[in-house]
Every structure is written in C-alpha cells, then in structure tokens.
C-alpha cells in the first residue's frame, strides 16, 4: 500500500457533499462493539457536568478511537485500553462539553451496491499481490507512524425526548503511534481539543508496528490467530466471521503493517465465509472504487473496504445499512460510518507532520 492515496476528484463528490462544511471540503461502526461502546459512553456521560438534555442519548454507532483495535490484545489488556479512550466516547446529546457539535444534518445515504459472492477470492488475491509488491519503510525506535484521514459518522441524537438520525460533518483525524504502541497522539475535531490528546499507556495498542511485525504471515496461521483473539472479546451479538473481518480491516485502515503482513491479511480475509465484492463504493472524499465487503446479518450493516480500481490501493472504508435495522432508526442506504485515508507516513517525532521538523 502506498504512503499517500490518490487525491480526491471534486467532480466525484456526490453522496458525501451533505457532510462537507459550507466553505471547505477523516475505521467500524455498527454494533460489533455495541456493549463496549455503551460502557465508554456511560463513562463519558458520568464525567460531564453540564447537560442541556433531560435524558442521555443512545451511544453513537461509530467506533471509538482504538477501541476496536483492542480486539487483538489479550483480554486482560482491554481494561487499560478502555481507560485510554474513555474520554473519547461520543455522546449523541446536544451538549458537547464545549466542543464543536459535528452532527449538522440529515443522515448520509447512498445507493446500496450489488454484492457478488463469487468475486472476492480473485480480487483479494490481486490486492494481496499488489500489496506485496509495495515497499514500505521500516519503523524504528523513536519514530512514529502517522495516519491522516477524513471521517464522519451517523448516529441517533436525542434532544428533548425526540430522536433523529444525524450525520457529522466530514472532519480531519490525525493519529501518531510509536512502534511499541505505548506512546501516541490523537487530534480529531469534536473529540479532542485543538491540541489533541495523548494515547500513552503501559499496554501497547494492538495495531502498533512492532506487534504487527510479530504476527504470522502464513494466511492460515494468521487467520487462526485472528479468530482466537477476536473470540476472547467478541460481542455475542456479532457473528464470529464478521468479528474476524472487522479485526482485519482495523489493522489495514489505521496502521502501517509490513508489506508481507499486509499481503497475508488480504489472503486471510479471502478465507472468511461471506466475504463479497461490491462493484462500486465511495469513500469519504468521494473517490469511487471497488470494495471487498461483508455483511453482519444481525444488524443489517455491511462493512466495505474500498480500493482504487487501477492501483488496488486501499482508499478507505465505510459501513452501510443494507437493510433497515430492527428499531427502524437506520434505513437501508444509510452510511453509518465513512472514512478516507489521505496520508500514511513515518515521522521522526510524536505530533510531527510529514515534511515538517519538530
């Protein structure tokens, strides 16, 4: 995978335009970690001192930063990982603790693309070969992996006992992570201050470079490992195969795996039952591509990894409501979460941006 995806084309900003700020143009949602997100949201609510809504809103259906990545950590490490991100759980209420409210408009929607259950193995094999042929720099002690993206989420928001489904503005997300996963920084509008917040802690983030470099690169062994560790923390509402697919997507979207591991992750994904291709999908910045996807039949949401048609580079991911959920809040075609990777690099210091010293 290349360090920087191709730039978005403004002419292709169609379904994402409703998320954009009025004067200017940031990996999965769903219930696969629903209970954990409820817990994080409750912690967040308990810390809030000023409320303008009489009752707390439901937890948002987007991932909390690094919460999903805890799936590849031993079960005992989750408590600390949760503590690191406790202050980041979004609340759907109308009080944002002084932060900018990013939920500004109606739910983002899209045409639900047709799924091809036969095309995934061949496409993933091509993507794997392309990834193996890509040279990525090694990450050394003292350096940091830098990932910049555009993201937005859709979630139920309750104001004065009335619940509506709203989408955030598309916004920047920037993450720095040390090779050992014990130090890092996050800046995301509406979730951190303008300066950001530390991700430091004694337990490493599971997508840290040094940990990824130790994973097996044999696809069968790698998939067995993913199933084993995802089973330990899997939400019982989430099918086992879906949890494994989501875990692989997490490692691909906001980390910098060595090329041989990236290739193995795609080959492992091809072995998961229910993985399909979607002929047309759009990332958060409007770039069209072909997707590898899997649907969670429990909640009717489909997680899509979006690739450039020509280079097969990972552009981003999104979660689409394929069929209305049982509560009737999320209608078919709702984009629950959308992201676009805009830059991936190795820098020489925490909070340093590529091309800038210090």
The string of pLDDT tens digits covering residues 41-82 is 333 333 333 333 333 333 333 344 333 333 333 322 322 233
Q: Which of 308, 251, 241 is nearest to 276 (CA)?
A: 241
Q: In this structure, are residues 249 and 303 in contact, taking their beta carbons and an 8 Å threshold? A: yes
Q: What is the pLDDT of residues 265-313, one digit of tens each?
A: 999 999 999 999 999 999 999 999 999 999 999 999 999 999 999 999 9
Q: Which of 259, 164, 154, 167 is nearest to 213 (CA)?
A: 259
Q: What is the pLDDT of residues 214-230, one digit of tens each?
A: 999 999 999 999 999 88
Angstrom distance (rounded) from CA 71 to CA 121: 25
pLDDT bin (cut points 50, 70, 90) of residue 196 is: very high
Q: What is the pLDDT of residue 124?
A: 98
Q: What is the pLDDT of residues 124-175, one digit of tens each?
A: 999 999 999 987 788 999 999 999 999 999 988 888 888 889 999 999 999 9
Angstrom distance (rounded) from CA 82 to CA 65: 10
Share of the chain above pLDDT 70, in %: 70
Helix pair angle (259-269, 120-132), 10° resolution: 180
pLDDT: which is higher, 97 or 190 = 190
Angstrom distance (rounded) from CA 155 to CA 103: 9
| Beta-sheet pairing, 276-282 with 184-188 | unpaired
Angstrom distance (rounded) from CA 175 to CA 269: 25
Query: 190: which DSSP letter?
Result: T
Q: In this structure, are residues 166 and 96 in contact, taking their beta carbons and an 8 Å threshold? A: no
Angstrom distance (rounded) from CA 256 to CA 202: 21
């Amino acid at each position: 995978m290349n360090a920087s995806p191709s730039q978005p084309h403004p002419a292709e900003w169609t379904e994402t335009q409703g998320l954009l700020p009025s004067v200017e143009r940031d990996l999965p949602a769903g219930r696969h970690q629903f209970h954990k997100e409820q817990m994080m949201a409750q912690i967040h609510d308990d810390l809030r001192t000023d409320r303008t809504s009489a009752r707390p809103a439901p937890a948002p259906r987007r991932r909390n930063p690094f919460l999903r990545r805890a799936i590849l950590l031993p079960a005992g490490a989750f408590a600390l990982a949760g503590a690191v991100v406790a202050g980041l759980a979004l609340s759907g209420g109308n009080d944002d603790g002084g932060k900018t409210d990013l939920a500004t408009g109606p739910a983002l929607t899209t045409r639900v693309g047709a799924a091809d259950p036969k095309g995934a193995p061949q496409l993933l094999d091509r993507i794997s070969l392309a990834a193996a042929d890509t040279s990525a720099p090694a990450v050394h002690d003292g350096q940091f992996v830098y990932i910049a993206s555009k993201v937005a989420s859709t979630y139920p928001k309750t104001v004065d006992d009335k619940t509506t489904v709203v989408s955030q503005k598309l916004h920047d997300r920037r993450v720095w992570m040390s090779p050992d996963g014990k130090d890092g920084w996050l800046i995301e509008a509406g979730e951190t201050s303008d300066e950001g917040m530390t991700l430091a802690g004694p337990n490493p983030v599971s997508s840290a470079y040094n940990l990824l470099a130790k994973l097996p690169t044999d696809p069968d062994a790698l998939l067995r490992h993913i199933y084993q560790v995802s089973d330990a923390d899997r939400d019982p509402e989430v099918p086992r195969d879906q949890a494994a697919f989501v875990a692989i997507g997490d490692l691909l979207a906001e980390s910098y795996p060595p090329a041989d591991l990236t290739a193995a992750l795609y080959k492992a994904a091809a072995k998961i039952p229910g993985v399909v291709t979607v002929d047309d999908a759009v990332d958060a910045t409007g770039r069209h591509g072909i997707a590898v996807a899997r649907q969670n039949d429990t909640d009717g949401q489909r997680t899509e990894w979006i690739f450039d048609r020509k280079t097969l580079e990972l552009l981003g991911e999104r979660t689409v409501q394929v069929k209305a959920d049982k509560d009737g809040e999320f209608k078919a075609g709702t984009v629950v979460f959308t992201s676009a990777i805009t830059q991936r690099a190795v820098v020489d210091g925490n909070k340093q941006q590529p091309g800038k010293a210090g």
